[in-house]
Amino acid sequence: MTLPLLEKTWTISGNQVLTGSGNVVTDRKALFLTLKNKFVTSAWTVSGSCNATSSSGNGVDHIQTIANIVNTTDGTAHSWIVLQQSQISPKFQVCFDFSSPTQSSMTIVVSPVSGFSGSSLTRRPTAVDEYLILSNSTWFDFANYTSSSDIIYNTWFSSDGMSNRVITLWNNNSRGMWMFERPPDAPAAWREKSVFVALSGLGEPKSGSFLFNVPKLLGNVNELNSVFFMTAEGTRQGPVNTMLSTYTLTSSITGKYPLLPLTLFCGTANRRGVLGRVADMWYGPSLSTLMTGTTFPESGSAEFVQFGHIVQSWDAGRNVRIG
């Protein structure tokens, strides 16, 4: 059974378990702290931060413990942090802002080019090109995380810094995905050259979130906030199109899995067109039984894993933790 070849070198942290503390608020904060640390040790830098007591935009990381994560109404002292990945673009920055009184909610804002400035203890910094990708909303489906349990997180960081992904699971289901990317084959005419998403929900990442009317993959395209379809190959079956992933697990002749490479298609008026690809990511079979941690190939070493509809490389064995 043949599988795709990888085009990037990846550092994968799979099957990482955050043991439930017995307190759902603590668990959520512990996950954020863990992921923040994971990013920082994966070539991301802290541009600025605030722990509701101290605030600075000079690269100091004020979020060192769970206690430093204060989630409360915007306008009062709360926590935020800006992380930067210079390989996507010199000042590609992501601001995680805990400005909600709802403890399961967060705001995530991306500045593709300009970078953030102008923060305080009570307000997150802003950027002229900022794109609000999660607005005071539940992250990783935590609105439904009502009793403490183990939280599984998986991270993928490419060695060139241009692909950065997180998928979390709890209670035996995937719950969301973060993705910050500089797409390969992005045309020179696209100045920002980055896409990002913060998916949250049961079973995410689902292909519908990337394909249907209002796709959730976002990016700034020449100063215009835009949406992207993550397209894959399909064909017409009767009156409608069908993704080839709806076919059987493998081609009965070639033995190939229906792992479909992903092409980025900007769907925003005045910015429409194919604007590159997504590296080393595929839509996998859409069979529901395969959507939670199925590994490929079917036997031997697990080289790829499927969460939701997304297949990526994998090196954490066949026993995939899902909760």
Partner 1 sequence: MSTPTLENSWTFSVNNRIVIPYTNSPAVTNKARQLMFAIKYGLKNAGIDVIGSSDTYTAGIDNVDRWTTWSNVLERYSGGWCYSWMIMGNATMGHFLFTFVSGYTQWDVYYSPQGIFTWNGQLYTRPSATDELRLTIANQYFSTNNVADVVWHLMVDSTKTRFRFIAQETGVNVLCFVIDKFNNDDMIWPRAYCGFSPSWYNVDILGSYNYLFSSTSWSTKTRSPTNVALSGQLSTNVENTTLLGTPQQFYLIGENSCTNEVTGECDFLKIGYTVPGVGRCGYIQDLWASSTYVPNGTTFPINDTKRRFVQFGVLIFPWNGSVPQIA
- Contacts with partner 1 by CB under 8 A lie at 2, 185, 187, 189-190, 207-208, 211-213, 221-222, 229, 231-244, 247-248, 250-256, 258, 263, 265-267, 269-275
Q: CB of 309: closest distance to partner 1 in angstroms?
A: 11
Q: Name residues whose C-beta falls within 8 Å of residue 159's C-beta, 6 or more positions apart in sequence.
A: 8, 9, 10, 11
Element housing 36 (H / E): helix 24-40
Burial of 5 (0-12, 13-18, 19+ CB in 10 A): exposed
**CA atoms of 62 and 55, how far apart (whole Å):** 7
In the complex with partner 1, the residue whose CB is nearer, 169 or 259, is: 259
In the complex with partner 1, the residue whose CB is nearer, 59 or 187, is: 187
Q: CB of 193: closest distance to partner 1 in angstroms?
A: 11
Q: CB of 291: closest distance to partner 1 in angstroms?
A: 15
In the complex with partner 1, the residue whose CB is nearer, 40 or 287, is: 287
Q: CB of 253: closest distance to partner 1 in angstroms?
A: 5
**CA atoms of 104 and 285, how far apart (whole Å):** 31
Output the CA–CA distances (angstroms, integers) from residue 134 to 191, 194, 196, in the order listed: 23, 17, 11
The residue behind tokens 């802003």 is: 126
14: left (phi over 0), alpha (psi -120 to 50) or beta: beta
In the complex with partner 1, the residue whose CB is nearer, 38 or 271, is: 271
Upper half-sphere CA count for residue 117 (Cβ side, 13 Å): 6
Bridge partner residues of 155 (DSSP): 13, 166
Q: CB of 37: closest distance to partner 1 in angstroms?
A: 37
In the complex with partner 1, the residue whose CB is nearer, 109 or 232, is: 232
* Count of all residues that appear for the chain in the document: 323
Q: CB of 283: closest distance to partner 1 in angstroms?
A: 10
**CA atoms of 276 and 232, how far apart (whole Å):** 12
Q: CB of 11: closest distance to partner 1 in angstroms?
A: 26
In the complex with partner 1, the residue whose CB is nearer, 23 or 246, is: 246
In the complex with partner 1, the residue whose CB is nearer, 38 or 309, is: 309
Bridge partner residues of 164 (DSSP): 157, 180
